[in-house]
């Protein structure tokens, strides 16, 4: 059975200037979108246009360009809010530096004002360090009790003990999609159990928001963090969505200009959310770029992106198995509805660094290493994998080149 691909990759690829370059005299094969995606020219043009016509600091001046910049910046906020189904897009989107900062904001601002010694925080064994270290830091400072949802042999969360693990928890923080295994976690099910137990649900959407339609209400999230640079947007800007009443009760995270209502020599009154959490000059051009990225993704259609990436992911898993057999191990679940396009690979006993080095000669960009998930790597029994990750601009030929490169690894390392 052939499944119809709703995306015309040839057309999409023309939007991404970086895909026209060559590496070692071969066309670039970009398979590292989980690390950072490429940007379409529409995003680059929006940022250029902003700098060329409208740049000024926001929330300050009364002149035309300052108003224009403020409107673009606040317009980006509303657009991003609508993209993830935020009930109150104007007030619930906080712009940060990246997903990591968004998660640190939650752990520090919400965490320090709502958690005390001995409180239970539930994480999972597959968390990125960004959703692990901030909680470990908080635990070190105030004495939390950390529990972990385990993973099973196929790289899915084992939920058989879910109710017992979340019982009494104040926070359940988990990634919606693993950046190592590609597993798409059943966040709504976990959030329901967490809420029954009275916990707040923090979702790391760094991998899910770029690749799956997102609605914070159906997810059951109380907070959602993600980064623009993994969703065809620029580096330097990330997002924290938080439920309005939670944000309203939180103290500021960073202090400075822009986040206050009033300041005296004795003290200060913080501004309302989201501005309370945006100290200093924000990433304005980046917000413009992020808004253009949202337009781009919406234009292609998130449903189409899911369908296309699932086709390529399935093709990749099947082709790797068929053509490389037992030489190649793919970590994570088999193709299916809970399988995203992140393929952590091992080839024979060749180290991931060496794999990536040989693949580079074929123009193939994959990431070797622990992918900022060392506890998970330990659980998988490896120190590093080579990770190939799929974006909307990848096609079957990219996978074929990956396999050609892997075959050559066999030749070099015998």
The residues binding another protein (CB under 8 A) are: 24-25, 350-354, 357-358, 361, 368-370, 374, 377, 383-384, 412-414
Contacts of 63 (CB under 8 A, 6+ apart): 56
First-to-last C-alpha distance (Å) of the chain: 37
Any contact of residue 100 with ligand PLP (CB under 6 A)?
Answer: yes
Vertex 79, ends 78 and 83: CA angle to 5°?
Answer: 115
Least distance between another protein and beta carbon 364 (Å) = 13
Least distance between ligand PLP and beta carbon 33 (Å) = 11
Helices (H), 6-146: 9-13, 41-53, 64-83, 89-92, 99-105, 111-114, 133-142
Any contact of residue 128 with ligand PLP (CB under 6 A)?
Answer: yes
Q: Which is nearer to another protein, 100 or 214 (CB)?
A: 100
Beta strands in 337-384 (DSSP E): 342-347, 364-365, 367-369
- Partner whose footprint covers residue 383, from ligand PLP, another protein, none (CB < 5 to 8 Å by kind): another protein
Least distance between another protein and beta carbon 368 (Å) = 7
Q: Which is nearer to another protein, 38 or 358 (CB)?
A: 358
Q: Which is nearer to another protein, 21 or 196 (CB)?
A: 21
User: How many secondary structure helices (H) and strands (E) does the chain include?
Assistant: 16, 17
# residues near ligand PLP by CB under 6 A: 14
- Partner whose footprint covers residue 243, from ligand PLP, another protein, none (CB < 5 to 8 Å by kind): none
- Partner whose footprint covers residue 312, from another protein, ligand PLP, none (CB < 5 to 8 Å by kind): none
Residue from 130, 300, 320, 392 in contact with ligand PLP (CB under 6 A): 130
Active site residue 372: yes
Helices (H), 3-92: 9-13, 41-53, 64-83, 89-92
Least distance between another protein and beta carbon 180 (Å) = 13
Least distance between another protein and beta carbon 382 (Å) = 9
- Partner whose footprint covers residue 414, from another protein, ligand PLP, none (CB < 5 to 8 Å by kind): another protein
- Interface of this chain with ligand PLP, residues 311 to 340, rule: CB under 6 A: none
Contact yes or no for 107/113 (Cβ under 8 A): no
Q: Which is nearer to ligand PLP, 201 or 372 (CB)?
A: 372
- Interface of this chain with ligand PLP, residues 232 to 261, rule: CB under 6 A: 238
Query: β-strand 169-175 against 200-204: which pairing, if any?
Result: parallel
Any contact of residue 185 with ligand PLP (CB under 6 A)?
Answer: no
Helix, coil or strand: residue 173? strand
- Six token digits for residue 13: 């690829």
Sole window of 14-22, 123-131, 284-292, 385-393 interacting with ligand PLP (rule: CB under 6 A)? 123-131
Helix, coil or strand: residue 254? coil
Least distance between another protein and beta carbon 301 (Å) = 37
Q: Which of 372, 376, 377, 384 is labelled catalytic?
A: 372
- Interface of this chain with ligand PLP, residues 201 to 230, rule: CB under 6 A: 204, 206-207, 227
For residues 354-380, one letter each, b for 16 or more C-beta atoms within 10 angstroms of the residue's C-beta and e for the rest, the string is: ebbebbeebbbbbbbbbbbbebbbeeb
Q: Which is nearer to ligand PLP, 233 or 405 (CB)?
A: 233
Contacts of 227 (CB under 8 A, 6+ apart): 98, 99, 100, 206, 237, 238, 239
Residue from 54, 109, 124, 175 in contact with ligand PLP (CB under 6 A): 175
- Partner whose footprint covers residue 207, from ligand PLP, another protein, none (CB < 5 to 8 Å by kind): ligand PLP
168: left (phi over 0), alpha (psi -120 to 50) or beta: left
* CB-count exposure of residue 259 (10 Å: 0-12, 13-18, 19+): buried
Alpha-carbon torsion 238, 241, 245, 246, what sign?
negative
Query: Which active-site residues does the annotation give?
Result: 372
Give the interface with ligand PLP as residue ranges (CB under 6 A). 98-100, 128, 130-131, 175, 179, 204, 206-207, 227, 238, 372
């Amino acid at each position: 059975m052939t499944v119809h691909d709703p995306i015309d990759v040839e057309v999409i690829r023309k939007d991404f200037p970086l895909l026209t370059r060559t590496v070692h005299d071969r066309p670039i094969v970009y398979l590292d979108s989980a690390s950072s995606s490429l940007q379409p020219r529409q995003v680059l043009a929006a940022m250029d246009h902003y700098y060329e016509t409208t740049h000024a600091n926001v929330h300050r001046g009364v002149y035309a360009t300052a108003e224009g910049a403020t409107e673009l910046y606040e317009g980006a906020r509303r657009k991003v809010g609508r993209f993830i189904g935020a009930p109150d897009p104007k007030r619930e989107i906080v712009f940060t530096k990246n997903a990591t900062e968004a998660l640190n904001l939650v752990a520090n601002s919400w965490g320090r004002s709502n958690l005390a010694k001995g409180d239970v925080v539930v994480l999972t064994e597959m968390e990125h360090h960004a959703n692990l270290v901030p909680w470990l830091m908080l635990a070190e400072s105030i004495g939390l009790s950390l529990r972990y949802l385990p993973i099973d042999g196929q790289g899915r969360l084992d939920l058989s003990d879910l109710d017992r693990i979340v019982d009494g928890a104040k926070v359940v923080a988990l990634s919606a999609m693993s950046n190592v295994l590609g597993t798409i976690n059943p966040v709504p099910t976990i959030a329901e159990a967490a809420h029954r137990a009275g916990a707040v649900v923090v979702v790391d959407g760094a991998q899910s928001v770029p690749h799956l339609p997102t609605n914070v209400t159906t997810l059951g999230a109380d907070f959602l963090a993600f980064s623009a640079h993994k969703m065809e947007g620029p580096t330097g800007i990330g997002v924290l969505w938080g439920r309005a009443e939670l944000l309203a009760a939180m103290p500021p995270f960073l202090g400075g200009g822009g986040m206050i209502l009033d300041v005296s020599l004795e003290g200060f009154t913080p501004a309302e959310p989201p501005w309370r959490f945006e100290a200093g000059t924000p990433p304005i051009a980046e917000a413009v770029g992020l808004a253009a990225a949202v337009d781009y993704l919406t234009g292609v259609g998130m449903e189409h992106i899911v369908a296309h990436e699932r086709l390529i992911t399935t093709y990749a898993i099947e082709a790797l198995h068929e053509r490389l057999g037992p030489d190649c191990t793919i970590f994570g679940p088999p193709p299916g509805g809970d399988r995203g396009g992140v393929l952590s690979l091992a080839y024979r006993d060749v180290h991931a660094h060496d794999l990536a080095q040989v693949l580079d000669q074929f123009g193939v960009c994959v990431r070797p290493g622990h992918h900022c998930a060392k506890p998970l790597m330990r659980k998988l029994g490896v120190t590093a994998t080579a990770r190939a990750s799929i974006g909307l601009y990848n096609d079957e030929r990219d996978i074929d080149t990956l396999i050609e490169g892997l075959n050559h690894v066999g030749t070099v390392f015998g």
